[in-house]
Amino acid sequence: MNAVAPPAALQTSGSQLATLNDWVARVAALTKPAAIHWCTGSDAENQTLVDQMLADGSLIKLNQDTHPGSYLHRSNPEDVARVEHLTFVCTPEREDAGPNNHWMPPAEAHAKIDALFDGCMAGRTLYVIPYCMGPIDSPLSRCGVEITDSPYVVANMRIMTRMGAPTLARIEREGHFVKGLHSTGELDPNRRFIMHFPDELTIKSYGSGYGGNALLGKKCHALRIASYQARSEGWLAEHMLILGITNPQGATHYIAAAFPSACGKTNLAMLIPPEGYLKDGWKISTIGDDICWMRPGADGRLYAINPEAGFFGVAPGTSKKSNPNALASIQTNTIFTNVGVTADNQPWWEGIDNDQTPVTDWQGQPYDPAVRPAAHPNSRFTVSAKQCPSYSDMAEDPQGVPISAIVFGGRRASLVPLVFEARDWTHGVLIGAAMGSETTAAATGAVGVMRRDPMAMKPFCGYNFADYFSHWLSFDKDGAHLPKVFHVNWFRKGDDGKFLWPGFGDNLRVLEWMINRVEGKVEAVSTPIGQLPAEGTLNLNGLSLSEEAHSKLFGFDPAGWQAEFASIGDYLTEYGPRMPQALLEEQQEIAQQLA
Which parts of this chain interact with Mn ion (CB under 5 A)? 261, 290
Q: What is the largest CA-CA distance in the chain?
A: 71
Q: What is the pattern of x (binds ligand SAT, CB under 6 A) and - over residues 265-294?
A: -------------------------x----
- Min CB(314)–Mn ion separation in Å: 9
Known catalytic residue: 220? Answer: no
Residue nearest ligand SAT (C-beta atom): 212
- Min CB(459)–ligand SAT separation in Å: 7
- Name the one range near ligand SAT by CB under 6 A: 113-121, 157-165, 212-220, 392-400: 212-220
- Min CB(17)–ligand SAT separation in Å: 29
Confirm or reject binding of residue 261 to ligand SAT (CB under 6 A): yes
Confirm or reject binding of residue 211 to ligand SAT (CB under 6 A): yes
Rounded Cα gap, residues 468 and 159, in angstroms = 30
Q: Are 465 and 99 in contact (CB under 8 A)?
A: yes
Confirm or reject binding of residue 225 to ligand SAT (CB under 6 A): no
Beta-bridged to residue 526, according to DSSP, are 531
CB nearer to ligand SAT: give 238 or 290: 290
Confirm or reject binding of residue 162 to ligand SAT (CB under 6 A): no
8-state DSSP, 220: I
Rounded Cα gap, residues 39 and 23, in angstroms = 16
Catalytic residue among 143, 263, 292, 461: 263
DSSP track, 46-74? HHHHHHHHHHHTSSEE--TTTSTT-EEE-
- Min CB(313)–ligand SAT separation in Å: 9
Backbone angles phi, psi at 379, to 5 degrees: -70, 155
- What is the 3-state composition of the chain as percent helix, strand, coil, each rounded to the nearest 5? 35, 25, 45
- Min CB(292)–ligand SAT separation in Å: 13
- Min CB(104)–ligand SAT separation in Å: 21
| Residues within window 412-451 making contact with ligand SAT, judged by CB under 6 A | 442
Rounded Cα gap, residues 73 and 123, in angstroms = 22
409 contacts: CB under 8 Å, gap ≥ 6: 257, 258, 259, 263, 435, 487, 488, 489, 490
CB nearer to Mn ion: give 146 or 290: 290
- Min CB(261)–Mn ion separation in Å: 4
- Count interface residues toward ligand SAT (CB under 6 A): 9
Rounded Cα gap, residues 161 and 309, in angstroms = 5
Confirm or reject binding of residue 212 to ligand SAT (CB under 6 A): yes
8-state DSSP, 38: E
Which of ligand SAT, Mn ion, none is residue 82 near (CB under 5 to 8 Å by kind)? Answer: ligand SAT
Rounded Cα gap, residues 542 and 223, in angstroms = 40
Q: Are 487 and 404 in contact (CB under 8 A)?
A: no
Confirm or reject binding of residue 106 to ligand SAT (CB under 6 A): no
Q: What is the pattern of x (binds ligand SAT, CB under 6 A) and - over residues 311-350?
A: -x--------------------------------------
Query: What sign does the CA torsion over 437, 443, 446, 451 have?
Result: negative
Nearest to 236 by CA among 292, 289, 319: 292
Confirm or reject binding of residue 219 to ligand SAT (CB under 6 A): yes
Rounded Cα gap, residues 452 and 181, in angstroms = 31
Beta-bridged to residue 178, according to DSSP, are 144
Query: What Rg, from alpha-carbon coordinates, does the chain have?
Result: 24
Which of Mn ion, ligand SAT, none is residue 221 near (CB under 5 to 8 Å by kind)? Answer: none
Chain positions contacting ligand SAT, by CB under 6 A: 82, 211-212, 218-219, 261, 290, 312, 442
Catalytic positions are 263
